Amino acid sequence: MGVRANRLDMYRTAIPMRSFEHAAATREVAEAVVVRVQFADGTVGWGETLPRPYVTGETPETVVADLAGVIWPAVAGVELADLSTAAAAIPTAGADGRCMNAAACAVELALADRFLADGWRRGLARSAGRIDARVSGVLGSADPAKTARRLRLMRWYGLRDFKLKLGFGEDVDAENLRVVHGRIGRAVAAGRCTLRVDVNGGWAADETPERVGRLKRFGVCVVEQPAFCGPAELVELARRCELPLMADESLRTERDAEELLAEPRRVWWNVRISKNGGLLRAAALAAKAAESGAAVVVGCMVGESGILSAAQRRLLQVAPGVRFVEGNYGRFLLADDLTTRSIRFGYAGRLNVLSGPGLGVAVDAARLARHGSLVASLER
């Protein structure tokens, strides 16, 4: 016997950030859509999503519209037996084929929060309760001096894996690379640190192979999303590059994943819960990558609150062979949070398994009221 969802509350939130820059955007505020689902048995679940137009084509406005017009009608009042069947009921594409992964993620996480309340009995396999992968430091600024300061703090805090954002212009990128290589180049060469770069689609496809080739001398292990392109084009680019490429915006759907499997050793996968439609879909992609031999990074959307950070830790409990992690930055990046405690990684990027029920965190009503506003309440 299952439970039925009978009420959906949707909030728009905006939490001040400690600023973040990359080639596709500069952020001072983390904007998200947060949902609260109430079930017929009196239980509730919370979910969150951070839509990005340049990632899935979604915005906060389209997410709210799709939740109200497509996703809520698909799950409201339906008897849901477990997390797997509940997630399967959530559409991830519109009638016209438009991607709705971010909108789907919000409700799927709320359902996960409810169905995982008794642990990992249903929906996801029980794990060993340990997270081996460590969080990476993300670097990059239009001001290389700021990049140097951040790297110094990250090294002091014991981080050993780093991602450098490129796409700020030739001179700035060159100086950022010089600064980072000057500080950790020997550690990278000795295997004590790793360095990867993320271009966020800032290069043209035809110039990518030459640009990638120049990065080899810096000890870069992989180049993330050098150009905005589909999965098949990224595979072709990877065949022409001296370093592996990583698919981020090119990996949104199961169909994208199938195309990337043409070069599992040359194309790494960046799996993100909000981008890929929720916890279970992200877990399925990570498992597919592991089966095929593709390296996996579990990433995040910049500015995630404790809700999505908690979901990421649940994902990391079950995802096999994760190479790097980006996320769980909490108040390292946000000025405040939506949960009663802002969870973030510990010294050297370590992550503990959350012991609480469901996703493992509780939403703070006062913080939600401070940083969010209710935009709609829907009942069955």
Q: What would the mean pLDDT of 278-303 be, rounded to a whole number?
A: 96
Q: What would the mean pLDDT of 265-284 be, rounded to a whole number?
A: 97
Q: Are residues 165 and 292 in the same domain?
A: yes
| Interior angle at CA 344, CA 110 and CA 175, nearest 5 | 120
pTM, whole model, 2 decimals? Answer: 0.94
Q: Are residues 160 and 308 in the same domain?
A: yes
Q: Are residues 141 and 63 in the same domain?
A: no
Q: With left for phi above 0 and alpha for psi between -120 and 50, is residue 54 left, alpha or beta? A: alpha
Tokens of 363: 């939403």
Q: Residue 20 — very low, low, confident or very high, per pLDDT cuts 50/70/90? A: low
Tell me 376's DSSP state: E
In this predicted structure, the answer to whether residue 26 has a pLDDT above a threshold of 90 is no
* Radius of gyration (C-alpha) of the chain in whole angstroms: 20
Please check whether residue 130 lies inside any domain of the structure: no
pLDDT of residue 28: 86
In this predicted structure, the answer to whether residue 267 has a pLDDT above a threshold of 60 is yes
Q: For residue 229, how far is the Cα from the chain centroid?
A: 19
Q: How many other C-beta atoms can be found within 10 angstroms of the C-beta atom of residue 177?
A: 22
Please check whether residue 129 lies inside any domain of the structure: no
Q: What would the mean pLDDT of 313-335 be, rounded to a whole number?
A: 95
Cβ-in-10-Å burial (0-12, 13-18, 19+) of 122 comes to: middle
pLDDT in tens, 145-161: 999 999 999 999 999 99
Average pLDDT, the chain: 93
Least reliable range by pLDDT among 60-69, 231-240, 247-256, 349-358? 349-358
Q: How many other C-beta atoms can be found within 10 angstroms of the C-beta atom of residue 310?
A: 26
Q: Are residues 169 and 52 in the same domain?
A: no
Domain count of the chain?
A: 2
Q: Residue 209 — very low, low, confident or very high, per pLDDT cuts 50/70/90? A: very high
Q: Are residues 251 and 117 in the same domain?
A: no
Please check whether residue 356 lies inside any domain of the structure: no
Q: Are residues 109 and 169 in the same domain?
A: no
Identify the CATH number of the domain in which residue 203 sits: 3.20.20.120
**Comparing C-alpha atoms, which of 274, 301, 251 is closest to residue 109?**
274
**Comparing C-alpha atoms, which of 267, 195, 257 is closest to residue 236?**
267
Q: Residue 86 — very low, low, confident or very high, per pLDDT cuts 50/70/90? A: confident
Q: Are residues 237 and 199 in the same domain?
A: yes
Contacts of 298 (CB under 8 A, 6+ apart): 133, 271, 272, 282, 286, 312, 315, 316, 319, 322, 324, 325, 326, 327
Q: Are residues 95 and 175 in the same domain?
A: no
Beta bridge partners of 334: 17
In this predicted structure, the answer to whether residue 19 has a pLDDT above a threshold of 90 is no
Tokens of 203: 């290069």
How far separated are the first and last CA of the chain, in Å rounded? Answer: 19
In this predicted structure, the answer to whether residue 123 has a pLDDT above a threshold of 60 is no
Q: What would the mean pLDDT of 228-237 be, rounded to a whole number?
A: 96
Alpha carbons 71 and 310: distance in angstroms, whole number: 23
Q: Are residues 189 and 66 in the same domain?
A: no
- 19: domain range? 3-123+363-379
Alpha carbons 241 and 71: distance in angstroms, whole number: 41
pLDDT of residue 130: 75
Q: What would the mean pLDDT of 7-17 be, rounded to a whole number?
A: 97
pLDDT of residue 120: 44
Q: Are residues 239 and 345 in the same domain?
A: yes
**Contact indicator for 157, 378 with CB cutoff of 8 Å:** no
Q: Residue 122 — very low, low, confident or very high, per pLDDT cuts 50/70/90? A: very low
In this predicted structure, the answer to whether residue 188 has a pLDDT above a threshold of 80 is yes
**Contact indicator for 298, 286 with CB cutoff of 8 Å:** yes
